[in-house]
Structure 1
């Protein structure tokens, strides 16, 4: 396991060093992120899910995990809203705080971590979190950030479909369709090999992207943002603790409990500051929280992975 931790850290360091040396510019890294989310991760999801022998228990666990993670994000975001009120934060920032701290970066970080430490079934359960995140962000998230007005039902539906129907979600359902219908055997082997090779790029490129994101942020300056730092620390300590407490009473399988615990230690989702800029207020603090929680997760995630293996 320690060798896998080294891989995780080393790839992040490569991205950080590459940005600081000028090999990766902000524009190049943005393009790299787009490549990962639009091409390599969907390829990984299709081939991984399509090649899993899905039992009824795994399928039920998948949809329960999706619902559980969406619910956890809503509940924890609400708790952080209460914390912000108690700390007398500017009231205009509470909607941003709710969605930013409730969100989880299942895509860029969650899926690579699941692939490294938990194998194909872990990726399957983490992909349920990707669906849960999209459901959360593009329905509840837009509703909250838009001042709980949201426009007409039709407008809300269009916003949800535009955000939620994306390559990752399509890839998850395509993979499920292929394995449940046993039609993956009819897909040309050359195409499967291509998608597998493309999907194999997801872990290194995702971690390099995260490292470069940290390299572009001006880490010293970030740690002077006292409110964002406090909120980030609270999120990264409280959310895994609450997830562990919930798993004490929930009769889930060991893999589901492990993924749920590790997911709770993920940083805030990278897409949220862009949503805040479009629909709400507080994009700067949202971005700071995303970057700070990402930095904290570099230390916290290995600890939670170890704890998950130890407990379950």
Structure 2
């Protein structure tokens, strides 16, 4: 009876080691970005420019190339679409109920909603690539094509609900989002059958290769630990909901739909990611509680260093 038990423990140790080996370089880049900015290296003007370069050029190149070559007839797509929409709809309905009970104004509700619904895409794709390689990145790109527009619509609505929102003001940020445009363009190229001729695939792969490490450095540079001093219960509660409750919801949906192992893991991973640093920019632009949003982003990113390996280990088990 001892041999199976020892074998199971050995497998668990190997799985944990593989997860740590895949994830620790990602968080090392985040920490490096934090200290580089605090040391003013290369200079303060570098980081906003790096964020814009990544957001408008490098990261869209990664999404475009992934979807342009993805098998859009993949049988995983309908399953993933159903799983993503079920999980997001459940979370959104719960948020609306809590808002009604607590009476949150739109500025505060928008920060809480983004803390629970949005996700750090850079960290997610880097983790999926480390764990599953190109097949995982293809699944992740399909998921992003579904999640990015949906989450952006809900984020804008949550921040503007009290003022009323027109269709134009709701859709304009979506239509101008470079990530959404890249997903749409990649899907259209894929469906057209044109492919990526004339070395364009190599150009896109070079741009994409620079995206994830630069994105993780920028995530670290955007951390603001000084924002963690106020509203501790709100920050902790929001972080626990995002990092523990949301992946639990995703796991329940994946289990109910009987998703295959890799699809389940990718789904849970994206629902376990800390919220997106760009949520701070949107919150500030739309008059939300930007200080609360900055605190949520920072605390979730710090806690994710512990929660992500634990959750992935449980899902893999």
- TM-score where L is the length of structure 1: 0.82
2:188 aligned to which of 177, 195, 216: 177
Is the CA contact 2:83–2:257 (under 8 Å) kept in the aligned structure 1?
no
Residue in structure 2 matched with residue 119 of structure 1 by the alignment: 133
- Within the candidate set 198, 206, 214, 1:197 is matched to 206
Give the one of 198, 219, 228 matched to 1:188.
198
Q: Distance in 1 between matches of 2:259 and 2:74?
A: 14
Alignment partners' CA distance in 1, 2:50 and 2:161: 33
Q: Which residue of 1 aligns with 2:218?
A: 209
Structure 2 residue corresponding to 1:38, chosen from 50, 56, 59: 56
What is residue 142 of structure 1 aligned with on the other side?
156
- Matches of 2:76 and 2:287 in 1, distance apart? 38
Aligned residue in 2 for 1:304: 311
Moved more, 156-165 or 105-114: 156-165
The answer for the alignment partner of 1:266 in structure 2 is 273
Q: Is the 8 A contact 2:128 2:140 kept in 1?
A: yes
Q: Which has the higher mean CA deviation after the structures are superposed, 280-289 or 18-27?
A: 18-27
Structure 2 distance, partners of 1:195, 1:27, is 26
Contact 1:96–1:280 (CA under 8 A) maintained in structure 2:
no
Superposed displacement of residue 195, structure 1? 1.0
Equivalence for 2:12 = none
2:92 to 60, 70, 74: 74
Give the aligned CA root-mean-square deviation in angstroms.
2.9
Aligned twin of 1:244: 251
3-state SS of 1:201 partner: helix
Structure 1 residue ranges, 4+ long, deviating more than 6 angstroms after superposition: none
- Give ranges in structure 1 of 5+ residues lacking alignment: none
Question: 2:3: which partner in 1?
Answer: none
Deviation at 1:168, TM superposition (A): 1.5
8 Å contact from structure 1 (residues 49, 175) kept in 2: yes
Looking at structure 1, the residues matched to 269 and 235 of structure 2 have their Cα atoms a distance apart, in angstroms, of: 21
Deviation at 1:182, TM superposition (A): 3.0
Q: Normalization by structure 2: what TM-score?
A: 0.81
Indicate how the Cα distance of structure 1 residues 289 and 193 shifts in structure 2: closer, same or farther if over 3 A, else same: same
Contact residue 265 and residue 301 of structure 1 kept, 8 A: yes
CA distance in 2, matches of 1:233, 1:98: 10
Confirm or deny that 1:157 pairs with 2:157: no
CA contact (8 A) 2:62 2:204 kept: yes
Aligned length: 298
User: Which residue of 2 is the match for residue 104 of structure 1?
Assistant: 118
Q: 1:41 to 1:61 in 2, by over 3 A?
A: farther
Q: CA deviation at 1:138?
A: 4.1
Give per-residue Cα distances to partners, 1:79-116, cap 9 Å, x unaligned. Answer: 6647x82xxx8656552244222322242322222222
Structure 2 unmatched ranges of 5 or more: 1-17
Q: Measured at CA, do residues 48 and 211 of structure 1 come closer, stay the same or move farther in structure 2, by a change above 3 Å?
A: same
Query: Post-superposition shift, 1:251?
Result: 2.6
Pair 106,70 (structure 1): closer, same or farther in 2 beyond 3 Å: farther
Alignment check: 8 A CA contact 1:15 1:210 kept = yes
- Please identify, of 122-131 and 263-272, the stretch whose mean Cα deviation from structure 2 is larger: 122-131
Match of 1:16 in 2: 34
